[in-house]
Amino acid sequence: MNIENVNHQHRIRSFVKRAGRITPGQERALKELLPLYNVDNYDGVLEFDEIYTRSADTILEIGFGMGQSLLAQAAANPENNYLGIEVHSPGVGSLLKGMNEQNIENIRVSLTDAVEMLNQKIPEQSLSTVQLFFPDPWHKKKHHKRRIVNHAFAEKILTRLKPGGLFHLATDWQIYAEHMLETLSEIQAFENVSDDNTFVPRPDSRPLTKFEKRGQKLGHGIWDLMFIKNEK
């Protein structure tokens, strides 16, 4: 099924918008900084050279949570452009607040559904990397259809990556990790970076978050997957 042809009003969402508690600092950042860094009001397909006022590799992170990983990456790699998608306002506010405190200028944000953003705003073959870290695994079998990683989604990511571009995923839920691995392995245009065609150790490019550190202390496993778009 082509996800571009799905009626967005009736499409099954991979997320639930939760109100969440927002701090005064996050609320202030949303009010003062969101208009400066939000791409949702950009008319038509995004022109990255115009949005970032430079030509550079653009990395998309889908569902950046509270933004710690995205902030760390952007600070460590100022030569790259970063675009973060997150539907939860406290997380966006936290990211913007961190950007202001650390004087980080190479991040732009969107509060739009990721699938709609990919369909309507992201140009084909424009991204050097797409990151999807710890998406909601929707544990119950009846909710598996809500998982963002499916064949149509992976095919859409493929069209938005440049040749040689990277799709990096991570999850702390083994069943979902195996589902991701099976889904991406079925797409011939993706090549698994892993030597044994399974999972890879956490690369240095993915910062260790508080969430992950807490999980490690509890003995939770983490599975990273990295697939490259074939250049043929």
Query: Could you list the active site residues?
Result: 136
- Rounded to 5 degrees, φ, ψ at 22 are -115, 130
Sign of CA dihedral 50, 52, 58, 64: negative
Contact 80, 58 (CB under 8 A): yes
Helix (H) or strand (E) holding 180: helix 174-185
d(CA 108, CA 82): 6
Q: At what angle do helices 151-160 and 174-185 cross, to 10 degrees?
A: 60
Contact 56, 47 (CB under 8 A): no
Sorted by sequence, the CB contacts under 8 Å of residue 169 that are 6+ apart come out as: 131, 132, 133, 149, 180, 184, 224, 225, 226
What Å distances lie between residue 64 and 82, 107, 140, 211, 218, CA to CA? 11, 12, 23, 12, 22
List, as one string, the DSSP characters of 95-122.
HHHHHHHHT--SEEEE-S-HHHHHHHTS
3-state secondary structure of 229: strand
